[in-house]
Amino acid sequence: MKQGKKTTYPQLLPHLLKGRLNAFAPFVGAGIRVQTMDLDNGLCVVSMPLTRLNKSLDGAQFTGSMLMMTEPFLKLILSHRLGRAYQVSDHSLQIEFLAEAHSTVTARIRIDTTEVMDIIHETKQGTVMRSYEILISDAHQKPIAKVTKSLMIRLIS
């Protein structure tokens, strides 16, 4: 993991990123809010209330907005925890809908330290492909959708 002042991001970075993402026009339009951004511990919590702007024709959450609420966070967490010596790139993204959402939806995105250490070890042999599942749940903690995102990670220096 990151060591020393030259490779670490400022302590203020998660706070600034949270503010920037909450002001990001596509997130504002969909009503997406970053509730928690703890990059040092590998956790982001993102929510989206059901509003007239993100309702689909049948009155449920618009599925594209649910996908968008998970998009940048795995990459942000890994980029922060691995440091600047690593390149994290998107490879694929898939969503499986489990039920319709007629309330606020929440996604908890988490990458633990053992996963980061495994990536560091494996990238010494070359590029690593990783897939992560993110569950999106409604206000009653019922799973609504499962997002599977694949990332390519490589050591660049």
Q: Which of 60, 49, 63 is nearest to 93 (CA)?
A: 63
pLDDT digits (tens, 9 = 90+) for 91-108: 999 999 999 999 999 999
**Looking at the domain assignment, is residue 106 inside a domain?**
yes
**Looking at the domain assignment, is residue 140 inside a domain?**
yes
pLDDT digits (tens, 9 = 90+) for 44-55: 999 999 998 888
pLDDT digits (tens, 9 = 90+) for 115-138: 999 999 999 999 999 999 999 999
**Looking at the domain assignment, is residue 55 inside a domain?**
yes
Which residue range(s) make up the domain with 109?
14-85+97-113+132-148
**Looking at the domain assignment, is residue 91 inside a domain?**
no
Q: Give the CATH number for residue 108.
A: 3.10.129.10
**Looking at the domain assignment, is residue 8 inside a domain?**
no
- What was the pLDDT predicted at 8? 47
**Looking at the domain assignment, is residue 40 inside a domain?**
yes
Domain count, the chain: 1
Indicate the helix (H) or strand (E) that contains 120: helix 113-122
What Cα–Cα distance (Å) separates residue 86 from each residue in 100, 127, 134, 155, 157?
38, 10, 23, 4, 7
Asked whether the beta carbons of 85 and 157 are under 8 A apart, the reply is: yes
Answer yes or no: is pLDDT of 23 > 70. yes
**Looking at the domain assignment, is residue 50 inside a domain?**
yes
- What was the pLDDT predicted at 114? 96
**Looking at the domain assignment, is residue 139 inside a domain?**
yes
